[in-house]
Amino acid sequence: MHHNPIIIENLTYAYPDGTQALSKINLAIEAGERVALIGANGSGKSTLQLHLNGIILPQSGRIKIGKWWVDADNLRDIRNFVGLVFQNPDNQLFMPTVWDDVAFGPKNCGCQDEELVQRVQQAMMMVDIDPERYGARNTENLSGGEKKRIAIAGVLAMKPQVLVLDEPSAQLDPRSRRQLIELLKSLSLTQLVATHDLDMALELCDRTVVLSQGQIVYDGATEKIMSNPDFLLQHSLESPLSYSRPYCLVKDFLIN
Amino acid sequence: MLLLHLGAFHLDIDSKQATFWHSLAPRTRLLCALLMVFAIALTPNGRWWTWAIYGLGVLGVVFFSRVTKKVLLKRIAVEFAFIGTVLLGTLFRDGGEVLWSWGILRITTEGLTVLGSVTIKALLSLLTLNILTLTTSVPALLNALTALRVPPLLVATLASMYRYIGVLIKEFQAMRKAAASRNLARNNVWQRFVIGNMMGTLFIRTFERGERVYQAMLARGYQGVPVVEKVPSGGRRDVFVLTFTIILALLGQSIYLPY
């Protein structure tokens, strides 16, 4: 595993209409780290994530993924190195059957026959989707939680070293959300999780990066930022539920 | 044709059976069906015996593939409702003896021959294609197309059409419900106007979705051309059935050869 899989230096990006989406982003993520990326809607989380896979190339500044600089020549290696899980699984599951969809990435890497079968099976087992039962099923007729896990399997099948997820827990019921959290915990990859689900961020990630209007306004320990409601509110966020119930503290009960 | 039945819960309700027909590779089934359809459709009008022979062949497949006859008939009935309008036009054709006339409408022997021929052609072709789609799942059909060297990009386009048509229908229904929940039922003109707008919205959303799907494809290493898998070559059965179909097609045509 690469020791410093993501280095971003002075990254700036403006949309074609001139809106500044990211300005002067500096970020380094170490191997095996699980980092939460939080921020209001439109704060630039998704734009930043698309850069990590080379879907958007840096306008100014530079990004190093593993040993490659993100530019048009290295896209193939970078996309094998970074797995991107999109927010809406309907956009990511585009093949007719579950098996075909999970096999899409490895096939593009030139994987064939026995190796392909093995990779697809392994990836499906990792997300707890039974290849026998689900393989031939239509990707359309699945529950939200299943779709999400299969979307992740499709990325895992490419054997990436970094997993980048865009709001993975959105639109999931509590049980599917729990399964997802356990799944992400069980994966030893470097992870960058963009989310509004601060309880999940708190549970999964030791480190949190807060984006606000395209800039990094905080980068540090998750617990420290979650216990600072004023700062969160200032950036259109809110303390996680587990922090916002002071009456749950046993100490308070004892005083009363 | 498949689009007509998308509302159906399962398109390929008989694809899990184990019969001789099902043991054939999907591409053999596809090839046989296409051969038969071409043979049926290209036979000149009025060659009843040729179609009798083809009909025997098609009925044989209906029997051997053990498709659910009720569903088969139902689907053909739906499809015939569309073809019926075309058929009606062929009836009032000039030529031959006039059997019946009323104003400018005339039914002639020629018209009857054409009507009969086209009806039989349509019926047999629809039977063949419906058996194919009832017994073969769409992904298997798409694989068959790839195996038959149809350009991979075209197959990929068909595949995503099949994948997303359901999503589009759901999205449209959601919009309709949203409109109904805000009391859309005032009058017909207004309703049509709103539904027209919905279609426009859907169209634009499709573009956006296409963009995102493409990004998701790029993120998983898509290079612009779908990867073609190696497919196993057909067994002895496939060769046999294909040969039999060709012989049947030629046999049907050969009846009228002396004339």
Q: Do B141 and B164 have their domain in common?
A: no
Q: Do B106 and B19 have their domain in common?
A: yes
Other Cβ atoms less than 10 A from the Cβ of A84: the count is 25
Q: Does A117 touch chain B (CB under 8 A)?
A: no
Q: Does A47 touch chain B (CB under 8 A)?
A: no
Q: Which residue has the higher pLDDT, B235 or A226?
A: A226
User: Would you state the structure tokens that stand for residue A69, as one six-digit string?
Assistant: 């600089």
| Closest alpha carbon to A49 in A159, A166, A151 | A166
Q: What is the pLDDT of residues A101-123, one digit of tens each?
A: 999 988 888 888 899 999 999 99
Residue B224 lies in a domain: no
pLDDT reading at B257 higher than 90: no
Q: What is the dihedral of CA A229, A233, A239, A244, to 10 degrees?
A: 70
Residue B227 lies in a domain: no
pLDDT reading at B103 higher than 80: no
Q: Do A94 and B142 touch (CB under 8 A)?
A: no
Residue B66 lies in a domain: yes
pLDDT at B3: 59
Q: Do B34 and B125 have their domain in common?
A: yes
Closest partner CB to B217 (pick from A83, A94, A96)? A94
Phi-psi region at B64: left, alpha or beta (left = phi > 0; alpha = psi -120 to 50): alpha
Q: Do B100 and B136 have their domain in common?
A: yes
Q: Tally the C-alpha atoms within 13 A of residue A93's C-alpha that lie toward its C-beta.
A: 27
Residue B190 lies in a domain: yes
Q: Do A105 and B221 touch (CB under 8 A)?
A: yes
pLDDT at A238: 87
Taking one residue from A and the other from B, the number of pairs with CB-CB distance under 8 angstroms is: 74
pLDDT at B146: 86
At residue A39, the 3 state secondary structure works out as strand
pLDDT at A251: 60
User: Rounded CA gap, B256 and B50, in Å?
Assistant: 8
Mean pLDDT over residues B158-180, rounded? 84
Mean pLDDT over residues B119-139, rounded? 91
Going by pLDDT thresholds of 50, 70 and 90, the confidence category of residue A182 is very high
The boundaries of the domain holding residue B208 are 152-219
Q: Does B230 touch chain A (CB under 8 A)?
A: yes
Q: Which residue has the higher pLDDT, B147 or B225?
A: B147
Q: Do B29 and B92 have their domain in common?
A: yes
Q: Do A95 and B163 touch (CB under 8 A)?
A: yes
CA dihedral over A178, A183, A188, A190, signed as positive or negative:
negative
Q: What is the pLDDT of residues A220-248, one digit of tens each?
A: 999 999 988 899 999 988 888 877 665 55
Q: Do B141 and B176 have their domain in common?
A: no
Residue B113 lies in a domain: yes
Residue B125 lies in a domain: yes
Residue B120 lies in a domain: yes
User: Would you state the structure tokens that stand for residue B138, as one six-digit string?
Assistant: 């769409």
Q: Do B8 and B62 have their domain in common?
A: yes
Please tell me the distance in Å from B136's CA to the nearest CA on chain A: 13
Q: Do B10 and B132 have their domain in common?
A: yes
Going by pLDDT thresholds of 50, 70 and 90, the confidence category of residue B34 is very high
pLDDT at B205: 87
**Lowest mean pLDDT, pick from A30-39, B75-84, B90-99, B114-123:** B90-99
Q: A36 pairs with which residues across the strands?
A: A193, A208
Q: What is the pLDDT of residues A109-161, one digit of tens each?
A: 888 889 999 999 999 999 989 999 999 888 888 898 899 999 999 999 999 99
pLDDT reading at B165 higher than 90: no
Residue B225 lies in a domain: no
Q: Do A94 and B163 touch (CB under 8 A)?
A: yes
Q: Do B126 and B159 have their domain in common?
A: no
Q: Do B22 and B111 have their domain in common?
A: yes
Q: Do B128 and B76 have their domain in common?
A: yes
Q: What is the pLDDT of residues A62-102, one digit of tens each?
A: 999 989 999 988 888 898 899 999 988 888 888 888 998 99
Q: Do B139 and A76 touch (CB under 8 A)?
A: no
pLDDT at A249: 57
Q: What is the pLDDT of residues B3-20, one digit of tens each?
A: 566 555 567 777 778 888
Going by pLDDT thresholds of 50, 70 and 90, the confidence category of residue B99 is confident
Q: Do B218 and A83 touch (CB under 8 A)?
A: no
pLDDT at A250: 58
For the question of whether the overall pTM of this predicted structure is more than 0.80, the answer is no
Q: How many domains does chain B contain in total?
A: 2
Domains assigned to chain A: 6-88+162-255 (3.40.50.300)
| Closest alpha carbon to A195 in A213, A177, A183 | A177
Q: Do B8 and B39 have their domain in common?
A: yes
The ipTM (two decimal places) reads 0.77
Going by pLDDT thresholds of 50, 70 and 90, the confidence category of residue A194 is very high
